[in-house]
Structure 1
Amino acid sequence: MHGIRGGRATRRRARSTVLTVLTALTLVVTTAATSQAAEPPATAKASATTKSAAPSAETTETSPFASASGEDCTATAPGSKERRAGAVESCVTVTPAPAKAKTRAAGAPAAAAAAGSCDITNPGNYSYERFSYCVTGINVTYILRDSRGLEIGRGTLAVSTGADLSATATTWSEQVTVTMTGASGDVTALNAKFRVSCGAGCTATKTAPWYGGAITLGQTLTGNVTYSSPQTTGSSASFLTSYAMFVTSPGATATDPNASWDNARQVRCDDAVGGTSVAGCAVPSEMAVVPMKATSSDAGGVVATYGWAQKNLNGAWGKKGSPLTRSTTGVAGRTAATCGGFTAQPELVDTDSCADFPFGEAKEGGAPGDRCVDVIPNLGNGEWDTYVLNDGHVLDPASPCVQSHVTPAEKQFAATQLAEGFTDQRVIDGDAFELPVSTPDTTGQARCLSNPAPTPSIPNGDGWFRNETEPVPFVNQTDHADGPGLRPARAQGCIARKRGKGTGTSNPVTGMKDAEAYKTANGLTYDQSRCHLIPSVLGGKGTSELTRRNL
């Protein structure tokens, strides 16, 4: 962290969370006997769900579970129990649960309802976080009809599935739960088999959550399936998980699934984050959230700059609704462009260096430095404040970038947080991400410390100084050739407990030397016999601000 040294620059102070359209899940009711479900190994064990390593900043989004039109009907087998009961066909439909259903079905155990990290209060919809997906309220209905087309029996199955992904592993487990919630007429029991698969780049390593599948009213079948998507350095694979059910009366044999569907959104497994990151998986359509934080004890100048820019500039880069986009190529070039023309202020910041925002790690970075707001963050009174340099009194909120005066330690502190955030959220090239920034905001202090400092002002420890001038018609009352000028009019100060160290007033000889330097630097002329130099102690290391007074 750093506090600003006293100086002459004019400053302005200010106090310093669906990428894709929700895709409806389409249920496909199969009508042709063209595929045979693979039989699982005889001795497969259900594996425990892999917990996500993601931070708690995740938000939840939903995609509607869209029902298919029509139903899948199959003739009952001659001599079968159903045919003897008068049923000539069995039909299966799949629909989302009614919107009014807010709780799990009666008789289903609590553990079964909470598949993965599923939101059971929103049945009939897929729920997503960056590292999880789930769906509840899939109703599979089995109906027996006689030769007149009249219903003689009905059974209803409620299906839920859910999984937690891992930011540090490319294998995961998905819990599947089926509960028989309805039975009437000639349907008193059903047989429910379940199979899963996934797209290119992924393998379902355990395809069946259970074996057998006999179920009666109020009973629940639950078990895990598993997937694997190994990746090599730099590789990435996106795919859908897919589901198939074989629903029959007990004893009947189904050769094809009579209900099948795909996950509404893709899962992505990759080893493309970079750095020391290992391979892992995420739901890429869920916005990554990369939080950054700086306390009063941190080297937080760069982080404070990000927060200030989000609040004060129109770009609001990284705030909710204005995400940044990671770009792993051209980082150095974008940083160099934004820091172009940067002028270090070593009298204000030790080992002063440029921090750019939007930073070069984002596609939005790289705006030319001559269009940036020039700022300096300062830790005062326990909180981070930001001062605008730029020798201007009015901040242009349309500025496309920020140049910030910070120490190398502050740059490293921010870079480490950013890299860790990319790893935790699996942010790869092209991923959009939000960048919520948190810095301390102190209370219970004097009003002049709680409110923004006037414009322009100069920081002094935890407080600030402000010198005002007024115009005069002539710089030199005896020689009007110099034209009009300015003279000191009013000085203001907001003094806090922590104050900077000032230097003493200049002696006449040193003062004259300072005046010569000031005149040369600013292109001014004056009559030495009629112009006094008035040192103004500013704090920090301390410098003498040279002003002129007309006699």
Structure 2
Amino acid sequence: MTIFLAMMATLIFSGQAQAKEMGNGQRLVGTYAPPQEVPREVRIGSKDQGSGPECHAVASGEACIEWNPVSQTRRSISLAGAGAADAPEATCSISPGKWTYTRKSYCANLEGTYTLWDQSKPPKVTGTAIFFATIGSTLSQTNGSWEEKQTMTVASATGKVNSLSFSWLSSCTPSCTPTKPSPWLGSINLKVGQTAAGTSNYTANPGAGKHVGVTTSFAIQVVVPGVAGIHLLAKDNPRKVRCDTTFSNNTSTGCVISDVQPQLILPLSEYGAAAATYAWAQQKLIDQWGTAGNPLKRLGDEAIATANRTRTCGSGASRPFIPQPSEVTDDSCDEYPFAGTHEGGKNGALCADVIPKLQNGVWNFYQDLNSPAVTGNEPCIRGHVPSGENSAAGGKFGVNNKTERIIPDEKFQVVIS
């Protein structure tokens, strides 16, 4: 919500009693100054809580291995020996001990420790190692398959621990298949500063018209050469990958992180009066539909969306929308909330009817004198918008549902940039 509010400009609204009256009888009811910042990709995170130690008796005493919780992370990530091609996806934001997610990617940097104890009483530490596992993937919105990139790095080793050998096995829940479960063949031995890198692959099969939540997991087998005992560290991705086949007549599959709320980004430079109308409604009207605090919910039923549009802008409205071609070239009724959302379909008689005009770099909103005075308590808005900009914004709404894989009943934000 903070990111969104930072992008929105300050609204200056004058009540009807104070509204400016223009020479042609139009009354100015508010202004909208375009935002100065561009939208930033939404990111969320999950802290890694670590795991309890797994210990085995060895000839020299006992060896223990564990994932460290965030509070015990000793230092920032070290990718010594890892080239740019080996690092996780560039879209990821790597933070020690955390998983980071965008709508279309996930990544993590996890820290583990190995501790070797002798047989004395009390036992003494005779060797240690610290290692990092990184995981990163950019999901496909046009395919049910995706690649996950992994690295293992040994950051330090002391005493009797000179190196660690790792093998890796990726897996996923039954609605998914790990088509390439191991990033490298067998076990690979790493000394301090060395990195192993590879990829695993997954394919989800949600079925036509359906969606599934996939949990990816991995298990790492760790061995210290010369020390008996095999250790296994396992970890689930804390957030699910959602894959669906609900677009293009249920023939197109794509995947996203559904916990990251999608955005519909509409630049003023492309969508003009349509985008300005939505932004002004978000700031002026009481419900603030489409903001982070009150997102819209996709409808997903074109027949109902058509009925919604008729109820707001067409013959279903008890107060008709009256085009004003003398004020707006190729005038059309542009409704917000969108007809294709659960929040759309309000009776047009209840809407605020406004005429947006770009004047000296500022969008001025004038009262439609065929409608009641704007109060800010209206549940919807009808903007007098050129037909081309209206259609373009509507088209972007439809395309964005596909590119962001916004399934029916899913919430999304509308961001004006």
Identify whether the pair has TM-score above 0.5, normalized to the shorter chain: yes
- How big is the shift at 1:244? 0.7
Please show how residues 236-315 of structure 1 align to structure 2 within 5 Å: 236-250=211-225, 258-274=232-248, 278-295=252-269, 300-315=272-287
**1:136 aligned onto 2:109:** yes
Q: 1:323 aligns with which of 274, 284, 295?
A: 295
The alpha-carbon deviation at position 384 of structure 1 amounts to 4.3
1:124 aligns with 2:97: yes
AA of the residue aligned to 2:128: R
1:300–1:413 CA contact under 8 A, matched in 2: no
Q: Where does 1:87-126 land on structure 2 (aligned, <5 Å)?
A: 87=61, 89-96=62-69, 103-105=76-78, 107-111=80-84, 114-117=87-90, 118-120=92-94, 122-126=95-99
Contact preservation (8 Å) 2:209, 2:250:
no
Cα deviation for residue 135 of structure 1 reads 0.6
**Secondary structure of the corresponding residue to residue 68 of structure 2:** strand
How far apart, in 2, do the equivalents of 1:362 and 1:284 lie? 18
1:59 is displaced (CA, Å) by 2.1
- Aligned partner of 2:382 in structure 1 is 403
Instruction: Measure the CA separation in 2 of the matches of 1:145 and 1:197.
Output: 35
The 3 A distance-change label for structure 1 pair 269 and 305 is same
Change (3 A) 1:9 1:106: closer
State the partner residue of 1:367. 346
Q: Is 1:12 aligned to 2:32, yes or no?
A: no
* Cα shift readout 1:308-348 (whole Å, capped 9, x = no counterpart): 21222222222333321212133223333333132323454
Tell me how many residue pairs correspond in the alignment.
Answer: 381
Q: Of the candidates 198, 201, 205, which is equivalent to residue 226 of structure 1? A: 201
Q: Deviations over 1:418-469 (max 9, x none)?
A: 122222222111222111123xxxxxxxxxxxxxxxxxxxxxxxxxxxxxxx
SS at match of 1:308: helix
Task: Indicate yes or no: 2:165 matched with 1:187.
Answer: no
CA distance in 2, matches of 1:432, 1:67: 32
After TM superposition, the structure 1 stretch with the greater mean CA deviation from structure 2, 150-159 or 165-174, is 150-159
TM-score by length of 2: 0.81
Q: Residues 397, 205 of structure 1: CA spacing in aligned structure 2 closer, same or farther, 3 A cutoff?
A: same
- CA deviations on 1:374-395 (whole Å, 9 max, x unpaired) are 1123344566432222567853
Unaligned runs of 5+ in 1: 1-5, 17-54, 77-82, 439-551
State whether structure 2 residue 54 is matched by structure 1 residue 72: yes
Q: Which amino acid aligns with 1:242?
A: S
Change (3 A) 1:394 1:286: same
Query: Offset at 1:223?
Result: 0.8
**Contact 2:321-2:348 within 8 A present in 1 as well:** no
Which of the pair is proportionally richer in strand? 2
- What secondary structure does 1:258 align onto? strand
Give the percent of matched residue pairs that are identical in Structure 1 and Structure 2: 29
Q: 1:203 to 1:142 in 2, by over 3 A?
A: farther
Give me the TM-score of the superposition, normalised by structure 1: 0.63
Give me the whole-angstrom Cα distance separating, in 2, the residues matched to 1:59 and 1:253: 46
Residues in 2 aligned to 1:10 and 1:106: alpha-carbon distance in whole angstroms: 64
User: Are residues 408 and 112 of structure 1, via their aligned partners in 2, closer, same or farther at CA, if it must alter by over 3 Å?
Assistant: closer
2 CA distance for matches of 1:158 and 1:101? 11
- What CA distance in whole angstroms lies between the structure 1 residues aligned with 2:162 and 2:271? 68
Equivalent of residue 126 in structure 2, options 152, 156, 175: 152
Task: Report the alpha carbon displacement of residue 130 of structure 1 after superposing the two structures with TM.
Answer: 0.8
CA contact (8 A) 2:275 2:416 kept: yes
CA displacement, residues 177-205 of structure 1 (integer Å, 9 cap, x when unaligned):
11112222222122211111011321111
Tell me the equivalent position of 1:413.
Answer: 392
**Equivalent residues in 2 for 1:495-514, closer than 5 Å:** none
**Corresponding residue for 1:539?**
none
Decide whether the 8 Å contact of 1:199 with 1:241 is kept in 2. yes
**Aligned equivalents of 1:258 and 1:319: distance in 2?**
45
Asked whether the 8 Å contact 1:62–1:128 carries over to 2, the reply is yes
In the aligned structure 1, how far is the partner of 2:267 from the partner of 2:79? 46
Partners of 2:273 and 2:389 within 8 A in 1: yes
How much does 1:111 deviate?
Answer: 2.7
Aligned-pair Cα RMSD in Å: 3.0
Query: Contact conserved, 1:292 with 1:418, CA < 8 A, in 2?
Result: no
Say if 1:104 and 1:113, in contact at 8 Å, map to a contact too. Answer: no
Are residues 1:59 and 2:42 paired? yes
| Contact 1:373–1:390 (Cα < 8 Å) also in 2 | no
Deviation at 1:300, TM superposition (A): 3.4
State whether residues 29 and 374 of structure 2, in contact with CA within 8 Å, keep that contact through their aligned partners in structure 1: no
Per the TM alignment, residue 410 of structure 1 is displaced from its structure 2 partner at its CA by 3.2
Question: Equivalent residue for 2:10?
Answer: none
Does residue 169 (structure 1) correspond to residue 143 (structure 2)? The answer is yes
Aligned letter for 1:354? C
Distance 1:7 1:279 in 2: 56
Between the aligned partners of 1:62 and 1:92, the Cα distance in structure 2 is: 25
